[in-house]
Amino acid sequence: MLRRESSSRPRKSSRCVDAQAATIAISSRRVLEDFGSLACGNPGRRGLVLWRRGAWPRQTGGGAMTPALGTGRTIHESAARVGGLSRLADREATIILGAESAMSDPGVSGRFGEFGGRYVPEALVSACEDLEAAYRDARSDPSFTQQLDHLLSVYAGRPTPVTPANRLSEELGVHLLLKREDLAHTGSHKINNVLGQGLLAQRMGKKRLLAETGAGQHGVATATIGALLGLDVVVYMGEADIQRQALNVFRMELLGATVVPVTSGTRTLKDACSEALRQWVTQVDEAHYCIGSTMGPHPYPWMVREFQRVIGTEARAQCAGLLRQGVPDVVTACVGGGSNAAGTFAGFVDTPARLVGVEAAGGAAMTDGLPGILHGFYSNILQDEDGQVREAHSISAGLDYPGIGPEHAGLGTSGRAEYVTANDEEVVSAVVRLARAEGILPALESAHALAWIIRAAESGEIPYGSTVLMTLSGRGDKDAEQLRRLV
């Protein structure tokens, strides 16, 4: 039997026990790809309608607002301003993220509006609860945060710079700034999260890190931190991605990790996630599953976002020193599971900046998906009429995933962020254009955001003279062989 999280309420007799089950309708549809054969009912499209016209929140003390509908949710004053409650007032019923609009702690429910939660097999309930308790304890412990900050500085190479893309800016008619996560140790933003989770696993007494990887960057980062902290590392990677990312496979093995090919399903990131979850069930006492993105059961989406928040925090301070207005007009990043975008958006969600996540056109869960459950969380999932998970496609292995992190689903539903797509042809063109204009080779994943910027600037969607901050999540060395065949 599957259940979500422990609750003081009597256990319900359904296959899925959810602390907020009263507010979510379980439809007859099924998503059969949750943990492979471990599936959970797919909640229907009805969400949590928190605010209705004529029942707007009333102001309370302490700079917070509480709803007039008795839902018990709160919304911070700054989030209310940014979320634009006034511009949403004409809607008959609108889902608002509440406190999560400010990308803060989602609480024990692990929900971002209607999305998120914890849908796990019985064997993982205690593991998730223990992980949440350990993380809450660690983040309030100065010795843990100081150690993490120290390693981010002296080992990972933070802060990463914000680089003006002067020549490309001139071509596009916008002021383009690049947050250079490609310059972090291991070549991407992934190390921010893995350093945090590695230290947390060590604090919990775990001996092994399990990880999934698509493009290989999360696998490389996990292998790197395993070597640093003396932890064994096992990385699950789809066979198709192993063929696409042979260089990163070699890097992982050189660092001492065991890379396990996953031959089931589409042999890509989705299947690697499923296999890693299955293996975690069998070794939960000694292993920590180091999820690489803002997905999975609570507390992972929140915890990973917090470890990646350093991107947005740094960028906010750097933009304050670079820009007369203090913040850019547009903040954008590529989105698969969405960790680099979540970390970036966290620094700007309480500003007037337009937040834009860019998905792969062949894996666009926000623009082409339906709410469902996959890999332990409720979010937008690519699925067919029968609730079966559809195959995603992207030239970039890191975005080749049929879901999106639940916080992004919440941000998109609330209207605070918007999600667009870029296709493979646009992405390859963007890689070449940045390389030849600025001497910077972006990862294929990162180039999705750049492809949208180019398209939007040239079409006028981004007005002339606007300032655009893009998180360049990783470098393109890993994609060189693939690009050689395409360019």
Residue 15 in contact with residue 31, Cβ under 8 Å?
Answer: no
What residues make up the domain containing 237? 123-154+189-289
CATH number (domain holding residue 438):
3.40.50.1100
Task: Indicate if the pLDDT at residue 390 is higher than 80.
Answer: yes
Q: Supply the pLDDT for residue 47.
A: 31
Q: How many domains does the chain have?
A: 2
- Average confidence score pLDDT of the chain: 83
SS3 333: strand
Chain-centroid distance of CA 383 in Å reads 19
In a domain, 27, yes or no: no
Verify that 320 and 455 share a domain, yes or no: yes
Residues whose CB falls within 8 Å of the CB of residue 200, separated by 6 or more in sequence, listed in order: 131, 134, 135, 138, 144, 288
Verify that 406 and 469 share a domain, yes or no: yes
**pLDDT tens readout for residues 291-313:** 999 999 999 999 999 999 999 99
Verify that 280 and 394 share a domain, yes or no: no
Among 427, 430, 407, which residue's Cα sits nearest to residue 345? 407
Verify that 344 and 479 share a domain, yes or no: yes
Task: Indicate if the pLDDT at residue 36 is higher than 90.
Answer: no
Which of 230, 255, 289 marks a domain boundary? Answer: 289
Verify that 270 and 136 share a domain, yes or no: yes
Does 190 qualify as catalytic in the annotation? yes
Instruction: Express as a percent the part of the chain with pLDDT over 90.
Output: 76
- For the whole model, what pTM was predicted? 0.81
Burial 312-337 (b: 16+ CB within 10 A, else e): bebbbebbeebbeeebbbbbbbbbbb
**Of 5, 114, 212, 445, catalytic:** 212
**pLDDT tens readout for residues 135-177:** 999 999 999 999 999 999 999 999 999 999 999 999 999 999 9
Top pLDDT among 338 and 53 is at 338
Q: Supply the pLDDT for residue 102.
A: 60
In a domain, 59, yes or no: no
In eight-state DSSP terms, residue 95 is -
Verify that 462 and 323 share a domain, yes or no: yes
Task: Indicate if the pLDDT at residue 81 is higher than 60.
Answer: no
Verify that 371 and 476 share a domain, yes or no: yes
Does 473 qualify as catalytic in the annotation? yes
Task: Indicate if the pLDDT at residue 99 is higher than 80.
Answer: no
| Least confident window among 15-24, 223-232, 390-399 | 15-24
| Least confident window among 14-18, 83-87, 257-261 | 83-87
Verify that 349 and 458 share a domain, yes or no: yes
In a domain, 232, yes or no: yes
Verify that 345 and 358 share a domain, yes or no: yes
User: In the beta sheet, which residues pair with residue 65?
Assistant: 59, 75
Among 44, 39, 42, which residue's Cα sits nearest to residue 1? 39
Which of 289, 322, 349 marks a domain boundary? Answer: 289
Verify that 344 and 202 share a domain, yes or no: no
Cα separation values, 354 from 13, 118, 304, 425, Å: 44, 30, 23, 25
Residues 97-117, mean pLDDT to the nearest whole number: 79
Cα separation values, 450 from 162, 165, 196, 431, 487, Å: 15, 11, 28, 8, 17
**Of 5, 188, 190, 426, catalytic:** 190
Q: How far apart are CA 485 and CA 487, in angstroms?
A: 6
Residue 183 in contact with residue 157, Cβ under 8 Å?
Answer: yes
In a domain, 340, yes or no: yes
Sign for the pseudo-dihedral over CA of 43, 44, 45, 47: negative
In a domain, 253, yes or no: yes
Verify that 440 and 479 share a domain, yes or no: yes
In a domain, 46, yes or no: no
For 187, phi then psi, to 5°, come to 95, 10
Verify that 246 and 380 share a domain, yes or no: no
Task: Indicate if the pLDDT at residue 9 is higher than 70.
Answer: no
| Least confident window among 74-88, 177-191, 254-268 | 74-88
Q: Supply the pLDDT for residue 117.
A: 98
In a domain, 395, yes or no: yes
Q: Supply the pLDDT for residue 79.
A: 30
Top pLDDT among 255 and 91 is at 255
In a domain, 439, yes or no: yes
